Amino acid sequence: MATTVIDTIPAHLKPFVPSPTPATVTTEKSTIWGWLTTTDHKKIGTLYLFTALFFFLVGGLEAEIIRAQLGGPNRHLVSAETYNQIFTMHGTTMIFLAIMPLSAAFFNFIIPLQIGARDVAFPRLNAFSYWVYLFGGLFISIPILFGHGPNGGWFGYVPLTTRAYSAGINIDFWVIGLQILGISSLAAGFNFITTIINLRAPGMSLMRMPVFTWMAFVVQFMVILAFPVITIALFFLMMDRFFGTQFYEVAAGGDPLLWQHLFWIFGHPEVYILILPAFGLVSEVLPTFSKKPLFGYPVMVYSGILIGFLGFGVWAHHMFAVGMGPVADSVFGVTTMLIAIPTGVKIFNWIGTIAQGQFKATSASLFCVGMVALFTIGGISGVMHSSPPADLQQTDSYFIVAHFHYVMFGGSIMGLFGGIYYYFPKFFGRLLNEKLGKWHFWLTFIGMNLTFFPMHFSGMLGMPRRIYTYDAGQGWEVFNHISTIGAYLLAVATAIFIYNFFKSRVSGPAAGPNPWGAGTLEWTIPSPPPVYNFAVLPTVTSRYPLWEGKQADIEGARINQQSGKTAEQLGIVIPYSTIKPLLAAAFMIIMFSGLIVGHWLILVGAAATVLALYGWLTSPLEPEHH
């Protein structure tokens, strides 16, 4: 018997009270095979979390090498060629392999729980997205270990990256790897758009949706509209490099600016793809620790949507230095200034949330407050170079490096760390150690500012981006020295976090369903949630069902929190585990690597991929109903 919403709820239920912390944590043990074949959004989210943290450490190690090399004048810790590979992979890793997938970990784990669903719309496609990400990430990351890492900067400007100027296979791995990663993001985009549109529980109207899910929704639209554009830019470059086309061939009439336009039409929306999930997380954490609903919820939602739209109309602010002429410069300067308005509105809404509530400082809320502060600094320096004349002084200098690290580290990473402290109990059923968490926060906060704030000055003094080393006597030494000390401090902070993460996962105190007294739907179910998430699909009557819910919310929550039953006992159908998405992903990577290995392998890989897809599509998703 499958469950219905109403008829299984006993009539005598009392209003909802957060249950006391239980002594034990119920987790299902899973084999390696279980992880390889999983279609459960929570397990896939966990895989994303671990993989993204791994790549975060890789990208962090690359950053430490960069800072060690730049810590003093005329250092030769690594060779100039290796240095090129390291800064290229630092950017590529952090953007595509760490921040985006860390957001994806939360999308996977949290969105279905926040909207009251049992899984995403397409569980197997979800597994496919993850495996493509993992394999694509390894594909693009491993070459550097053999001295063949991509070395053209994360934006891969032509003509530097064309065959004539980059003959080696370094750029080949980058061009192919990013196309592979794009497929992962696109598949996830279709999946989450469908999930959010169609799997919301009864009563979960769009304007009751938690802001994290809202921001994720906006992000997925940006992904499916922006990634095709970089895919085409990369496809042209691949054709130029492998098949002798002339898209970026200046002598043949080709225009290097074509790459810049296509890249940044993707690249600027990408910035919002990286930051909006953190905005969403902050919008969950701050209300919980202020004991107050989010200030200005509708404005928060609309400003997120507006950012999504405007994000597609500002790309050429990355190109003021190429001489587009006064009209284009003015237009893109103005649109860039405009996009600061919805972003600024969000900052005031967060401040409004804290100001009117009873703020409680925890690791999660500190990271989120830190995010608001540091992102504001990055946002303000961003508005500075929205003005073309100012930008001409700042572009390609360390001032820009300072700016986007305040946005990406101070914004995205701090927000995501806040999210990790907040949702760790939901992932693993245990709490992270708060004391270590606060050490992590303060060391990160101080280290981050020590690292990146001096870069404003070294940039203003003329230090260019991507420079390998520099002579003494230009006034850059002291700022670089401070930056490097800050980077070492960040390494210590991250080590504390990693220790805390793995220690608490095993022996942290049991969290219970709702350790923070939060108000949204994901906190109505056990931590970690049972495989079916909700024993009964909740009926939602408000934005914070646990805080302001009507009787229906509360009754559903109580049932779900106390359910210790298996899916079979409840008659809930769970999708089969299957290895086919992994196989399809693996064969697809083989197909792509044929471009480097030999063209025969493209055909073999394509045939194997098609076979795997046929096997996947002809096997049933889940057992039949009966």
Q: Which chain residues interact with another protein by CB under 8 A?
A: 1-5, 118, 121-122, 186, 189-191, 193-194, 197-202, 204, 224-229, 231-233, 235-236, 239, 243-247, 251-255, 258, 262, 536-537, 572-573, 610, 614, 625
Write down the least CB distance from residue 110 to another protein, Å.
18
Spatial separation of the C-alpha atoms in residues 346 and 351, rounded to whole Å: 9
Q: Nearest-CA neighbor of 264 among 307, 308, 229, 232?
A: 229
Write down the least CB distance from residue 318 to Cu ion, Å.
5
Q: Let me know: does 102 contact 416? Beta carbons within 8 Å.
A: yes
- What would the two tokens of residue 383 be? 């508005």
Pick between residue 472 and residue 610 the one whose CB is nearest to another protein: 610
* Residue numbers annotated as active site: 90, 119, 154, 184-185, 268, 270, 272, 283, 317-318, 343, 346, 465
Binding mask of the shown chain, residues 243 to 272, with x at each position contacting Cu ion by CB under 5 A = -------------------------x----
- What would the two tokens of residue 472 be? 């003494």
Straight-line distance from the first to the last Cα atom of the chain, in angstroms, rounded to the nearest whole number: 8
- What would the two tokens of residue 492 be? 């210590």
- Three-state DSSP at 374 gives helix
- What would the two tokens of residue 444 be? 């990160």
Residue 262, contacted partner among Cu ion, another protein, none, CB below 5-8 A by kind: another protein
Write down the least CB distance from residue 451 to Cu ion, Å.
22
Residue 573, contacted partner among another protein, Cu ion, none, CB below 5-8 A by kind: another protein
241 binds Cu ion (CB under 5 A): no
* Phi, psi angle pair for 541, to nearest 5°: -125, 0
* Phi, psi angle pair for 464, to nearest 5°: -80, 155
Residue 243, contacted partner among another protein, Cu ion, none, CB below 5-8 A by kind: another protein
Beta bridge partners of 510: 430
Residue 236, contacted partner among Cu ion, another protein, none, CB below 5-8 A by kind: another protein
Pick between residue 171 and residue 265 the one whose CB is nearest to Cu ion: 265
Q: Let me know: does 315 contact 452? Beta carbons within 8 Å.
A: no
Pick between residue 268 and residue 558 the one whose CB is nearest to Cu ion: 268
Q: What is the DSSP string of 314-326?
A: -GGGG-GGG---H
Pick between residue 143 and residue 267 the one whose CB is nearest to Cu ion: 267
Residue 536, contacted partner among Cu ion, another protein, none, CB below 5-8 A by kind: another protein
Q: Nearest-CA neighbor of 51 among 177, 173, 137, 151?
A: 137
Is the N-terminal amide bond of 159 cis, ω within 30° of 0? yes
Q: Looking up tokens 């992962």, which residue turns up?
A: 184
The widest CA-to-CA distance across the chain, in whole angstroms, is 81
Write down the least CB distance from residue 518 to another protein, Å.
23
Pick between residue 286 and residue 314 the one whose CB is nearest to Cu ion: 314
How many residues touch Cu ion under the rule CB under 5 A: the total is 1
Pick between residue 67 and residue 268 the one whose CB is nearest to Cu ion: 268
* Cα 98 off chain centre by: 7
Spatial separation of the C-alpha atoms in residues 18 and 622, rounded to whole Å: 34
Write down the least CB distance from residue 226 to another protein, Å.
8
Residue 246, contacted partner among another protein, Cu ion, none, CB below 5-8 A by kind: another protein
Integer-rounded Cα Rg, in Å, for the chain is 25
Write down the least CB distance from residue 126 to another protein, Å.
12
Q: Looking up tokens 């959004």, which residue turns up?
A: 41
Q: Let me know: does 414 contact 374? Beta carbons within 8 Å.
A: yes
Length, in residues, of the chain: 626
Q: Nearest-CA neighbor of 341 among 318, 368, 371, 314?
A: 314
Pick between residue 233 and residue 276 the one whose CB is nearest to another protein: 233
Q: Cα dihedral angle (55, 260, 344, 280), rounded to 10 degrees?
A: -30
Pick between residue 244 and residue 298 the one whose CB is nearest to another protein: 244
Write down the least CB distance from residue 311 to Cu ion, Å.
8
Beta bridge partners of 397: 464
Q: Let me know: does 302 contact 343? Beta carbons within 8 Å.
A: no
Q: Nearest-CA neighbor of 90 among 170, 17, 153?
A: 153
* Cα 304 off chain centre by: 16
Residue 268, contacted partner among Cu ion, another protein, none, CB below 5-8 A by kind: Cu ion
Pick between residue 121 and residue 448 the one whose CB is nearest to another protein: 121
Write down the least CB distance from residue 267 to Cu ion, Å.
7
Write down the least CB distance from residue 234 to another protein, Å.
11
- Three-state DSSP at 510 gives strand
Amino acid at 58: V
Spatial separation of the C-alpha atoms in residues 428 and 529, rounded to whole Å: 9
Q: Which residue is nearest to Cu ion (CB)?
A: 268
Residues that bind Cu ion (CB under 5 A): 268
